[in-house]
Structure 1
Amino acid sequence: MKKTKSALIFLLCVFFLTGCWDSNEPERLVYANGLGIDYKNGKIIVHLQIINMKGLAKSESGGDPSSLSAADVGTATGNTLEEALFNLYHTVDRRIYWGHLSFVIFSEEALNMGGLKYTVDFLDRYRETRYRVYFFMTKDSIKDAMLISPIENISIAFSKLSDPDDNYHQSSFIPPINLREIIIQLDEPAYQVAIPELKITEQWSGQDKKEKSLLIESVTIISKNKIKDFLPKNVMNGGRLVNKDFVRDSVTLFAGTKKDASVILYDKKSKITPIIERNGKVRFDVNLKVKASVEMIKNDITRQQYESEIKRSIKKEIKKTYQYTQKRDIELFKLSKLLYRHDSEAWKRMESEGMIPLDDDSLRSIWIEVELQDTGKQKLSPIFEGQRD
C-alpha cells in the first residue's frame, strides 16, 4: 500500500512539472547579427542582417561550410525605430533573436537626427542585447556594407564589423567602440564620441572579379547628439599613440627621402600629466615610452638615427593631431577628463560646459623614449652593434 502511494505521489509530481514545453529551439530562431539605421524623407529606415549560425560549427560536427559567408539583409521603414522593426517582423518566417547582435551602422543623416542616443537607449533597455555591440557610421550604402562578405572561409560572424578587435590588435589605428563604452561617454559632461567611419573599397580581388571590402581609416566625432566633425587618416596618426588600448602599428620614417623606411611600434606606455602653473593656466606633459622593431634595414642608417627619427616622427604626429583638433574644439586626447581626475577643484574653476579652455601651447612638453628592441628574425644575428634582446 505504501509503495502504491509513493508511486502515485511521484506520478502527480511528474504531471505538474512544466518541463521545456515553452522553450525556443535554436534551429527555430532567426539570428540578428547587424543593424543599420538610416533617415530619409522624415522616415527611419532600418536594415537588419541575419546570419546562419550553422556556419560557425566545424563541418565534421555538422556545420554547413556553404553558409559561412551567407547573410540576408531585410529593410523596412517607419516613423520610429520600433515601428520600422515591427514592420520588418511582419516579413520574417521565425522569431528574431537579438542576443547575438554584433554591430550597428548609422548613416550621416541618422546621426544628425539624434539617432545615436535614441539607439543606445533602445539597445540598453532591451533584455536580449549585450553590451558588446560595436558602432560604425558610413556615407556609403548601409545595405551594401552589410552584404559584403569577409575573406573566403571566414564566417561573417567574425567579420571586421562583428569582431573588430582582432584586426585592431594587428594594426591599432582606429579603435573600435562598443555599446558599453558609448554609454559611459554619453554620461560625461560635454561628451564627444569617436565612431569609426566605414568606406566601401575594392582593394581585394578574387579569381574572377574584384571583391568589395570595408576600409576604416577615419572617425566621426559626435557631440550634443549630432555630428561635430570628421577626422581624416592623417589626423588620426597622432591619436593612436596616446590611445590606452594601442597594441602595435607602423610608423614611416624619413618620408620623402631616399632613406624612407618603416618601423613597428609596440609595447607602448603613455601618461599625460596636467600641470597647473602659477598664473592658473593648465598645461600638459606627455610622456611616451615605446619599443620599436625594424623589419627592413637600410645599411646607411645607424641605430641612433633610427631612434632619433622615431622620436621626431611620433612627436610631429602628436602635435599635428592636437593642433588640428584643438582648433575645432575636439577633445581627442580627453585632456579635460584628465584634469578632472587629477584636480577636480581646478577643473571646476576652468570648465565651461564640461570642457576646459585649451590653447596652441597647452601641450607643454612631449617626452618620448624609444627602445629599438629587435629587428624581427634578425635578432638572432643582430644587425645593429650592441643589439638588445
Structure 2
Amino acid sequence: MKKMKSTLLLLLCISILSGCWDSNEPERLVYANGLGIDYKDGKVIVYLQIINVKGLAKSESSGDPSTLSQADVGRATGNSLDEAIFNLYHTSDRRIYWGHLSFVIFSEEALKAGGLKYATDFLDRYRETRYRIFFFMTKDSIKDALLISPIENISMAFSKLSDPDGNYNQSSFIPPINLRELIIELDEPAHQVAIPLLKITEQWTGQNDKKKDLLIERVVIISENKIKTILPRNVMNGGRWINKHFVRDSLTLFPETKNDAFVVIYDKKIKIIPAVEKNGKVHFDIKMKLKASVEMMIKDISRKQYEKEIKRAIKKEINNTYQYTQKRDIDLFRLTETLYRKDNKAWKKIEIKGGIPLEEDTLRSIQIDVEIQDTGKHRLTPIFDEQKDKGIEDK
C-alpha cells in the first residue's frame, strides 16, 4: 500500500511539471550579429547579418572554422524599421534570435533622416537585445561592410565591429560606443554623441588576393537627432588624451625634424577641474598624469628632453582639437557634463539647451606630469644618464 501511495505521489508530481515543451533549442535558431540601417526614397532598408555559431566551437569538435560560412546578410525594406524587420522575417528559415546582436551600422542618409533615435528606442525596448551593442556609421556600402570577414578566418563574433575593445585597447584612438553609453550621452548635457565612422579599405592581403577591411579614423557628431558634423582624423588626435577609456596609443615626437622619435603613452589619469569666476564666467583646467615608453631613440637626447617634448606635443594636440571643435559648437571634451556634475548651480546659470557656451579661453590650462618608464626592452639607465641634457625650448 505504501509503494502504491509513493507511486501515485510521484506520478502526480510529474504531471504538474511544465518541462521544456515551449523552449527553443539553440540549433533550431539563427543568430543576428549585426544590423544595418539605410534610408532611400522614403523607405527604410535593413540589412541583417546572421553568423554561424559553429565557428565559435573548437576545431576538434566542430571542424575547421575556415571551412564554415562566416555570415549571411539578409535585406528587406519597409515604411518603418519595424515593418522592414518583419518583412525580413518572412524570408528566414528559422526564428531569428536577437540576444547576440553586437553592432548596428547606419548609413549617412539614415542618420540624416533621424534614424538614430528611432533605432535606439527600438533596441532599448525589445526584450532580447542587450546594452552592449556598438554603433557605427559608414558612407560606403552597408552590405559590403557586413560581409567583410576578419583576418585569419576567426569568427565574425570577434570582428572589429562585434568586439571592438581588443582593437581599442591596443591603440586607443577612436573609442567605441555602445547602446548604454549612447543613451546616456544623448540624454545628459551637452546632448551630443560621437559615433565612429567606418571606411572600407584594402590594407591587408591574403595568399590569393587583397582582403577588404574596415578602417576607423573619424567620428560623426550627432546632436538633436541630426548629424552636426564629421570630424577629420587629425582633430581626433587631441580627443584621445581626454577620453576616460584611454588605454594606450603612440605619439610621434620632433615631427618637424628628420630625427623624429616614437613613444607609447599609457596608464593615463586625468582630471578636468571647472573654475567659476565671480562674474559667472567658467574656465577649465586639465591635470594629467601619464607614463611613456620610448620605442625609437635619438642620439644625444636626454630623458628630461623627451619628457618636455611629450608634454609639448600632447598640449599642442589638445589645444588644436579644442580650438577646432569650439568654433563649431562641439563639446568633444564634454566640458558641459563636467560642470553639470561638479557645479550644477553654475551650469544652470549659463546653460543654453543643456550646453554651455565655449569660448577660446574656456580651456584655461593644461598641466601634464610625464614619467618615462622604459625604452622598449631596455632599462632606463644607463641609456639616458650617459647623455648630456641640451634642453629643448617649448614651441
Q: What interval of TM-score do these two structures reach, taking the shorter chain for normalisation?
A: over 0.9
Provide the residue aligned with 2:196 in structure 1. Answer: 196
Could you tell me which residue of structure 1 aligns to residue 278 of structure 2? 278
Deviations 1:38-69 (A, max 9, x none): 00000000000000101101012335523566
Q: Which residue of 1 aligns with 2:147?
A: 147
Which letter maps to 2:31? Y
Question: Secondary structure at 1:176's aligned position in 2?
Answer: coil
Q: Any conservation in 1 of the 2:39–2:109 contact (CA below 8 Å)?
A: yes
- Equivalent residue for 2:357? 357
> Does the CA contact (< 8 Å) of 2:200 and 2:215 recur in 1?
yes
Hey, what does 1:111 align to over in structure 2? Answer: 111
Q: Which residue number in structure 1 is paired with residue 18 of structure 2?
A: 18
What displacement does 1:190 show? 4.2
Mapped partners of 1:63, 1:244: distance in 2: 41
- 1:381 Cα deviation from its structure 2 partner: 6.1
Structure 1 residues 257-292: Cα deviation after superposition (integer angstroms, max 9, x where no partner): 112111100010111111112332111111111111
Q: How does 1:121-160 map to 2 (within 5 A)?
A: 121-160=121-160
- How far apart are the structure 1 equivalents of 2:283 and 2:130? 39
TM-score normalised per structure 1: 0.97
Q: Counterparts of 1:211-250 in structure 2 under 5 Å? A: 211-250=211-250
Alignment of 1:22-171 (within 5 A): 22-66=22-66, 70-171=70-171
Equivalent pair of 2:39/2:45 in contact (CA under 8 Å): yes
CA contact (8 A) 1:311 1:370 kept: yes
Q: Secondary structure at the match of 2:3?
A: helix
Per-residue deviation at 1:15?
2.9
Match of 2:298 in 1: 298
Residue pair 1:271, 1:287 contacting (<8 A) in 2 also: yes
1:383 and 2:386 are equivalent in the alignment: no
RMSD (Å) for aligned C-alpha atoms: 1.5
Q: Tell me, yes or no, if the aligned pair for 2:189 and 2:337 is still in contact at 8 Å.
A: no
Determine the C-alpha separation between the residues in 2 that align with 1:347 and 1:33: 41
CA shift for structure 1 position 4: 1.3
Match of 1:266 in 2: 266
* 1:128 aligned counterpart, secondary structure: coil
Map 1:325-340; keep pairs closer than 5 Å: 325-340=325-340
| Aligned residue in 2 for 1:207 | 207
Deviations 1:199-251 (A, max 9, x none): 00011111111111000000000000010000111000000001111000001
Name the SS of the counterpart of 2:195 in structure 1.
strand
Distance in structure 2 (CA, Å) of the matches to 1:331 and 1:339: 12
For 1:288 and 1:91, the matched residues in 2 are separated by 54
User: Is this contact kept in 2: 1:36–1:104, CA < 8 A?
Assistant: yes
Contact 2:55 2:154 in 1 (8 A): no
Structure 2 counterpart of 1:114, one-letter code? G
Q: Distance in 2 between matches of 1:209 and 1:53?
A: 27
Spell out, residue by residue over 1:76-135, the C-alpha distance to the aligned partner (whole angstroms, 9 max, x if none): 000011110011101110000000000000000101111111111100111100110000
Distance, in Å, in 2 between the alignment partners of 1:232 and 1:379 is 37
SS of 2:325's partner is helix
Aligned partners of 1:63 and 1:26: how far apart in 2?
19
For 1:290 and 1:60, locate their aligned partners in 2 and report how far apart those are by CA, in whole Å. Answer: 45
- Asked whether the equivalents of residues 310 and 370 of structure 2 are also in contact (C-alpha less than 8 Å), the reply is yes
SS of 1:44's equivalent in the other structure is strand
Give, in whole Å, the separation in 2 of the partners of 1:187 and 1:335. 15
Distance 1:167 1:334, change over 3 A: same
In structure 1, how many angstroms separate the alpha carbons of the residues matched to 2:69 and 2:253?
39
* 1:386 Cα deviation after fit: 8.3
Aligned equivalent of 2:289: 289
Identity %: 75
Confirm or deny: 8 A CA contact 2:267 2:290 kept in the other structure: yes
> How many angstroms apart in 1 are the aligned matches of 2:111 and 2:16?
52
Alpha-carbon separation, structure 1, partners of 2:69 and 2:197: 23
In 2, Cα distance between the equivalents of 1:249 and 1:109? 33
Unaligned runs of 5+ in 1: none
**Change beyond 3 A, Cα 1:98–1:382:** farther
Distance 2:21 2:343 in 1: 59
Taking structure 2 as the reference length, what is the TM-score of the superposition? Answer: 0.95
Residues of 2 paired with 1:322 and 1:8: CA distance? 78
Show structure 2 runs of 5+ residues with no match. Answer: 388-395
TM-superposed CA distance for 1:6, in Å, is 2.2
SS of 1:295's partner is strand
Assess if the C-alpha contact under 8 Å between 2:189 and 2:340 holds in 1. Answer: no
Indicate the SS of the match to 1:378. coil
Query: How many matched pairs?
Result: 387
Which deviates the most, 334-343 or 3-12?
3-12
Taking the aligned partners of 1:19 and 1:161, their CA distance within structure 2 comes to: 38
Q: Matches of 2:185 and 2:290 in 1, distance apart?
A: 28
